[in-house]
């Protein structure tokens, strides 16, 4: 595998090399890596100003396939290869399928993905297709597709790489390590979107691991946010017809429900809902700071602003907001939300006028 080749360069080496001692791998595990992780923690002056906190954006959109899923996939696919698996499957609202397809391609494994028909962002569908996955659209929602995958996993010789696979959670906890390694401590408050609830489970596991090992001396308050139309954990009941513009978190029966609730309770935090309108506003707001995240990711910033308005953020707290995926995956909202750019003849004076320039 290419990941085991050495280099004298100063590049980030990927999670298996950087955090291997904290992952469920051994010397015998092949490294299937696209050099994921090492994502930027971007300071937000504007969000710090409005909240009176020190706000950092953990931008997971810079991962190789444009979302945090790569952190779990490098571990899950490497272990699948080690164990002799020939095919992997997953259900997905888009990002898991994009990541599984890419890492399976890297490893030379067959990959099949089950996606809810017509409900995943075009960029994510393009990724699964271009990496050569068998893409199957299910006439139903994500939760039904995940049920199908569980049954396929029982009946057929395939490896399930959804986040119910513990290797996924193990890989994803590295994001908490990176946050702490960069800040030199844990943040006071950690804000993130919640869909199938694997990622909040993973972050909480990562923070607790560093705390248990004495690398940080406090733990953050975990604040998870679901989309109001797909908020089973907030309602305390399965949502049979989840609905939100944030298709990545359009999930009505999260697989990691109980561990997400545990993360919120143990950290004195919460899992709440934000409306599509709040998500859309937050999406535009971070974009105007130069960070292009996808709609589901903006649920964290929407949540941050809601917490701030409710007076629930301690003044001066350090806050990490996770932006889970890249906005280039779904450009329709960016384009629909803007005025169509004017078309002009090739005339510099007309262009200058439109730019508001005067001689
Ligand atoms: C951008 O790809 O569930 O709470 O199938 O793509 O760990 O599920 C994606 C989830 C947040 C929610 N932000 O994370 C899938 C899938 C983005 C996401 C979530 C997802 P979890």
Ligand 1 pocket member 162 (CB < 6 A)? no
| pLDDT on residue 5 | 60
How do the pLDDT tens digits run along the chain, 359 residues long?
A: 444 566 667 899 999 999 999 999 999 999 999 999 999 999 999 999 999 999 999 999 999 999 999 999 999 999 999 999 999 999 999 999 999 999 999 999 999 999 999 999 999 999 999 999 999 999 999 999 999 999 999 999 999 999 999 999 999 999 999 999 999 999 999 999 999 999 999 999 999 999 999 999 999 999 999 999 999 999 999 999 999 999 999 999 999 999 999 999 999 999 999 999 999 999 999 999 999 999 999 999 999 999 999 999 999 999 999 999 999 999 999 999 899 999 999 999 999 999 999 88
Ligand 1 pocket member 94 (CB < 6 A)? yes
Q: Which residue has the tokens 């248990």?
A: 212
| pLDDT on residue 7 | 64
Q: What is the dihedral of CA 104, 110, 114, 115, to 10 degrees?
A: 50
Q: What is the dihedral of CA 184, 187, 192, 198, to 10 degrees?
A: 60
Ligand 1 pocket member 253 (CB < 6 A)? no
Pocket test for ligand 1, best of 58, 135, 193 (most atoms within 8 A of CB): 193
Rounded Cα gap, residues 241 and 18, in angstroms: 41
Rounded Cα gap, residues 12 and 273, in angstroms: 36
The neighbouring-strand residues paired with 136 are: 114
Q: Which protein residue's CA is at the shortest distance from atom 9 of ligand 1?
A: 248
Structure tokens at 213: 């090992």
Ligand 1 pocket member 61 (CB < 6 A)? no
Report the 10 Å Cβ neighbour count for 71.
29
Give the pTM: 0.96
Ligand 1 pocket member 72 (CB < 6 A)? no
| pLDDT on residue 9 | 73
| pLDDT on residue 1 | 47
| pLDDT on residue 4 | 54
Pocket test for ligand 1, best of 249, 254, 256 (most atoms within 8 A of CB): 249
Q: Which residues are CB-contacts of 105 (< 8 A; sequence separation ≥ 6)? A: 111, 131, 132, 133
| Angle between helical axes of 95-107 and 69-82 (0-180°, round to 10) | 40
């Amino acid at each position: 595998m290419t990941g085991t080749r050495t280099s004298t360069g100063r590049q980030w080496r990927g999670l298996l090399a950087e955090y291997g001692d904290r992952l469920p791998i051994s010397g015998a595990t092949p490294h299937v890596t696209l050099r994921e992780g090492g994502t930027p923690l971007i300071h937000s002056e504007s969000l710090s100003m409005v909240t009176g906190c020190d706000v950092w954006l953990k931008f997971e959109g810079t991962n190789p396939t444009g979302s945090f899923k790569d952190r779990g996939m490098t571990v899950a696919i490497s272990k699948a290869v080690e164990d002799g698996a020939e095919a992997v499957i997953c259900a997905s609202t888009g990002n898991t399928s994009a990541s599984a397809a890419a890492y399976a391609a890297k490893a030379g494994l067959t990959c099949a993905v089950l996606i809810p028909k017509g409900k995943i962002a075009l960029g994510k569908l393009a990724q699964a297709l271009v990496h050569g996955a068998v893409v199957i659209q299910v006439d139903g929602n994500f939760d039904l597709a995940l049920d199908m995958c569980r049954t396929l996993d029982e009946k057929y010789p395939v490896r399930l790489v959804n986040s119910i696979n513990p290797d996924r959670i193990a890989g994803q906890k590295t994001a908490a390590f990176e946050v702490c390694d960069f800040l030199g401590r844990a943040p006071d408050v950690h804000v993130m979107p919640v869909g199938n609830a694997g990622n909040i489970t993973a972050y909480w596991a990562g923070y607790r691991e560093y705390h248990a090992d004495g690398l940080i001396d406090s733990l953050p308050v975990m604040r998870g946010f679901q989309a109001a139309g797909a908020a089973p954990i907030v309602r305390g009941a399965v949502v049979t017809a989840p609905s939100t513009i944030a298709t990545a978190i359009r999930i009505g029966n999260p697989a990691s429900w109980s561990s997400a609730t545990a993360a919120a309770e143990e950290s004195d935090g919460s899992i709440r809902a934000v409306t599509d309108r709040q998500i859309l506003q937050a999406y535009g707001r971070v974009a105007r700071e130069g960070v292009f995240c996808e709609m589901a990711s903006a649920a964290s910033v929407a949540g941050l602003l809601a917490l701030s308005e409710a007076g629930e953020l301690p003044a001066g707290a350090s806050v990490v907001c996770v932006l889970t995926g890249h906005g280039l995956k779904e450009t329709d909202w960016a384009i629909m939300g803007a005025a169509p750019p004017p078309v002009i003849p090739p005339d510099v004076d007309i262009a200058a006028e439109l730019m508001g320039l005067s001689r």
